[in-house]
Amino acid sequence: MEGRRVLHIPISSNGRFFSPAPLKKRILVTGGAGFVGSHLIDRLLVKGHSVVCLDNYFTGRKENLRQWQGTASLEIIRHDVVDPILVEVDEIYHLACPASPGHYQSNAIKTLKTSFLGTFNMLGLAKRVKAKLLFSSTSEVYGDPDQHPQVEEYNGNVSCTGIRACYDEGKRCAEALAYSYMRQDKVRISVARIFNTYGPRMRLSDGRIVSNFAAQALAGRGLTIFGSGEATRSFQYIQDLTSGLLRLMESSYSSPVNIGNPQEISVKSFSTLVLQLVDEFGNIERLDFQASVSDDPSRRKPDISKAREQLGWYPMWSLFDGLTETIFYLRT
Ligand SMILES: O=c1ccn([C@@H]2O[C@H](COP(=O)(O)OP(=O)(O)O[C@H]3OC[C@@H](O)[C@H](O)[C@H]3O)[C@@H](O)[C@H]2O)c(=O)[nH]1
């Protein structure tokens, strides 16, 4: 026997060969130059995968991926997902869509097209190349929730005529598409319902509360509070989100999963925290109360039991630590 190489090929019960799981996958990330997409690509490339990034640069930025310039395993394509594209991949993280209310409302029809046509094209691609697709849905599918905290079974309190409908109804329709492709065409899917997320690479002009308050405090201006400041949100740090997305893609669990940090805080308390971190000398004329924005959900907090049970995932970053990192990034 010496000198002879024995090849062990595992055979399944139905007589077919198992090929060993490929360590290196080819992965498509739509919206890959954006805030969430670029952090996810960092982690996929570090794991040794090969990544194709699609972005139309509406809110994404080339600088977010500058650290990978010249890396052979990253291919960046300027492309809008409302148009079909064919790429051979094993997995698709479909993230493309503006997420800040200001951005998605600025061209509501385009936002709806992105949700519907973009997801339709990506599901068609997943079907054709037999890739698994993870769809980035949102806590906004729960609308202005009358059930608190929000569990995945809750069907939401959403207005199909309000100014947020382009986003929340668009995402709901995209979820419906995903589950139709799963039932009808056996496409493997995951759906992440992502709650408010913040971190480095958010743009100062993003328009959401974290970057707005940080930018205002850093510039010594009062923090703009829309309405009474009693509305609540639950903020998760970007690294926690990307960990959740990676785990969800690995799992075979196909029902929607909330990915968020259940630590709930009011807008007013959040402003106090930002001021503590930025304004050591108490120089800022503190708060600048403004009219409330239409359709603004009054509270939001994820129930993350599913993520814990199905993925073994839970957030690791405290709001204090995550905000410290984010403010350091925005300051520099
Ligand atoms: O300057 C500001 C910005 C925001 N706010 C308030 O802060 C709260 C959070 O607002 P943001 O704009 O940051 O985010 P929203 O929760 O409204 O929407 C977000 O929800 C979840 C994600 O899927 C989306 O990225 C985004 O739509 C709201 O009550 C809003 O009125 C202020 O009081 N002042």
Please tell me if the CB atom of residue 196 comes closer than 6 angstroms to any atom of ligand 1.
yes
Whether 3 contacts 27, CB under 8 Å = no
Return phi, psi of residue 183, to 5°: -70, -45
Confidence (pLDDT) at 122: 98
**For residues 95-102, average pLDDT:** 97
What tens digit of pLDDT does each residue of 137-182 get? 999 999 999 999 999 999 999 999 999 999 999 999 999 999 999 9
Over residues 170-199, mean pLDDT: 98
The residue among 255 and 283 whose pLDDT is bigger is: 255
Distance CA 93, CA 41 (A): 10
> Contact, 306 vs 257, CB < 8 A?
yes
Question: Is the distance from CB of 257 to CB of 319 less than 8 angstroms?
Answer: no
DSSP for 212-234 reads HHHHHHHTTPPEEEETTS--EEE
CA 74/CA 69 separation, integer angstroms: 8
Q: Provide ipTM, 2 decimals.
A: 0.98
> Residue 132's Cα: distance from chain center in Å?
17
Q: Which pLDDT score is estimated for 76? A: 98
- For the chain, percent of residues with pLDDT exceeding 90: 88
| Pair 182, 132: CB distance under 8 Å | no
Q: Give the integer Cα–Cα distance in Å for 239 and 262.
A: 15
Rg of the chain over CA atoms, in angstroms?
A: 21
The protein residue whose alpha carbon is closest to atom 29 in ligand 1 is 231
- Whole-number Å distance between alpha carbons of 310 and 246: 13
On whether the pTM is more than 0.90, the answer is: yes
pLDDT of residue 23: 80
pLDDT at 282 over 80: no
User: What would the pLDDT profile of 15-63 be if each residue is shown by its tens digit?
Assistant: 444 444 458 999 999 999 999 999 999 999 999 999 999 999 999 999 9
What are the residues whose beta carbons fall under 8 Å from the beta carbon of 222, sequence distance 6 or more? 216, 284, 285, 286, 287, 288
Cβ count within 10 A of residue 101:
17
In the prediction, which pLDDT does 285 show? 65
pLDDT in the model for residue 11: 39
Once rounded to an integer, what is the mean pLDDT over residues 185-209?
97
Known catalytic residues are 167
> Quick one: average pLDDT of 268-288?
83
CB 266 less than 6 A from any atom of ligand 1:
no
* Closest of 166, 161, 34, 172 to residue 111, by C-alpha: 166
Residues 90, 28: contact at Cβ < 8 Å? no
Q: Is 208 in the pocket of ligand 1 (CB under 6 A)?
A: yes
User: Is the predicted pLDDT of residue 283 greater than 80, yes or no?
Assistant: no
Cα 151 from chain centre: 18
The C-alpha angle 82, 74, 252, rounded to 5 degrees, equals: 70
Q: Residue 332 above 70 pLDDT?
A: yes
| Three-state SS at 320 | helix
CA of 209 to the centre of ligand 1 (A): 5
Query: Where are the chain's structural domains?
Result: 26-331
Look-up of token digits 């490339």: 45
Q: What is the pLDDT of residue 238?
A: 98
Question: Residue 58 to residues 14, 98, 100, 206: CA-CA distances in angstroms?
Answer: 49, 8, 12, 12
Average pLDDT, the chain: 92
The predicted pLDDT at position 279 comes to 74
Domain 26-331 is of which CATH architecture?
3-Layer(aba) Sandwich (3.40)
- What would the mean pLDDT of 2-9 be, rounded to a whole number? 37
Q: How far apart are CA 116 and CA 36, in angstroms?
A: 20
With cut-offs at 50, 70 and 90, classify the pLDDT of residue 280: low
- Establish whether residue 137 lines the binding site of ligand 1, counting it when its CB lies within 6 angstroms of any ligand atom: no
Query: Best substitution site from 139, 225, 259, 267 to test ligand 1's pocket, by max atoms within 8 Å of Cβ?
Result: 267
Which atom, in ligand 1's list, is nearest to the CA of 231? 29
CA distances in angstroms from 256 to 121, 260, 262, listed in the order given? 20, 13, 17
Q: What is the pLDDT averaged over residues 209-229?
A: 94
Atom of ligand 1 at shortest range from CA of 212: 1
Model confidence at 10: pLDDT above 90: no
Ligand 1 neighbour 144 (Cβ under 6 A): no
* CA–CA distance, 220 with 7 (Å, rounded to integer): 68
- 71-93 residue pLDDT tens: 999 999 999 999 999 999 999 99
pLDDT of residue 190: 98
Note the pLDDT of residue 14. Answer: 42
Looking up tokens 């050591």, which residue turns up?
A: 280
The number of C-alpha atoms within 13 Å of 236 and in the hemisphere containing its C-beta is: 29
Ligand 1 centre from 239 Cα, in Å?
20
